[in-house]
Amino acid sequence: MKFGINTFLFTSPFTNASTRLFPKFKAWGFDGVEIAIENPADIDPAFVKAQLDKHGLVCTSVCACFPPSRDLRGNKTQQRATVVYMKQLVDIAEILGTKIIMGPLYSATGRADAVPAAEYKRQWQTVCGHLKTICAYAEANEKIICLEPLNRFETDFLNTVEQGLQMIRAVKSPALKLLLDTFHMNIEEKNPADAIRRAGKHVGHIHASASDRGTPGNDHVDWRGVAQALRDIKYEGAVVIESFTQDVKVIARAAAIWRKIEPRRDDIASKGLVFLKKTFK
C-alpha cells in the first residue's frame, strides 16, 4: 500500500513551479503525490514526471477538477468540455506514470439542485452515456476512472457507495471504479467500513480525510474499521490524504473551509501520514 498527498492542501492551481513541494513530501515519508490538474495547460507533464523521479516519488493519481464550466449533466457546452478534459487527463496520466484519474466527474462540484425524479433520471442517462465514452478511451489506454461519491452538501446526484455501484453496473466498463473518501462516507454511509466491503473489487482509490477535514487520526473517523475493511477486500491501491485549509483561498471556498482547523497546515500531512502508516500497515 502506497501513501500519497493531494496537492490541494498546499497549492491551487498546480503548476511546474509547484514541484518545489516534492522534497518536503519525500522528507515526510510519502510514497507519492496526487496531482490536481485544474487546467491541462498549467503543467508540462514530462517536466513534472522528471521531478517526481528526481525526488523518488510516484504520481499516485490525477485529481480531476469540476468548476461550473465542466458538468456532464449540464448544457451541451459543459458536457463536451468535460469529455475533452477527461480525455486530456487520460493522456497526461500516461506521461505521469499513473493509472488512476479520479474525481466527482458526473457534475460541477457544489451543484445541488434537488431536481424532480424524472429530471434526475434524464440526468443519470446523460451522465451514463458520457461515462461510457470516457471509460472507453481510458480502457483503450489502460487507465482507470475512479468515480467519487460526494456528500449531500456538495452534490444532489451521487452521494453513496450504492449509487456509485449502480452507475458502474450501468456503464459496464472495467475501467470504471470508485474513489471512496472517508470524509464523505462519514456523512453519507451508515457504516463506512461495511460500505467499503460492499464496494469490494470496485474500490479503485481511497482518500483518507478527517471528519473535519483536519489531520487523519485527530478526529472521530473509525480508522481501524476502515483499515480492516480495506484488508478484507484485499485493497492494494494508494491511500491519499486529501484536506483543505484557508491558505488556498479558491479551494477553501469550494470546500467551505471557514476557520482554521489545525494549528499548522503541515501537521495535516506529516502527522496524518504517521498515523495512517501505523494504522493501515
Q: Identify whether the C-beta of residue 276 lies closer than 8 Å to the C-beta of residue 242.
A: no
The reported pLDDT for the residue numbered 260 is 73
For the chain, percent of residues with pLDDT exceeding 90: 88
236 part of the active site: no
Q: Cβ of 218: how many Cβ atoms within 10 Å?
A: 17
pTM for the model stands at 0.95
pLDDT confidence tier of residue 30, bands split at 50, 70 and 90: very high
Q: Which CATH class is domain 2-280?
A: alpha beta
- Residue 148 annotated in active site: yes
Grid look-up 461510457 returns: 132
Closest C-alpha to 156, from 109, 209, 103, 199: 109
Write down the catalytic residue from 148, 154, 189, 262: 148
| Residue 258 confidence (pLDDT) | 62
- At a CB cut-off of 8 Å and minimum separation 6, what does 140 contact? none
Q: Is 3 left (phi over 0), alpha (psi -120 to 50) or beta?
A: beta
Q: Give one word for 110, left, alpha or beta, with left for phi > 0 and alpha for psi -120 to 50.
A: left
From 154, 188, 189, 242, the catalytic residue: 242
- The pLDDT assigned to 45 comes to 98
Q: How far apart are CA 280 and CA 40, in angstroms?
A: 33
The mean pLDDT value of the chain amounts to 94
How far is it, in rounded angstroms, from Cα 138 to Cα 145? 7
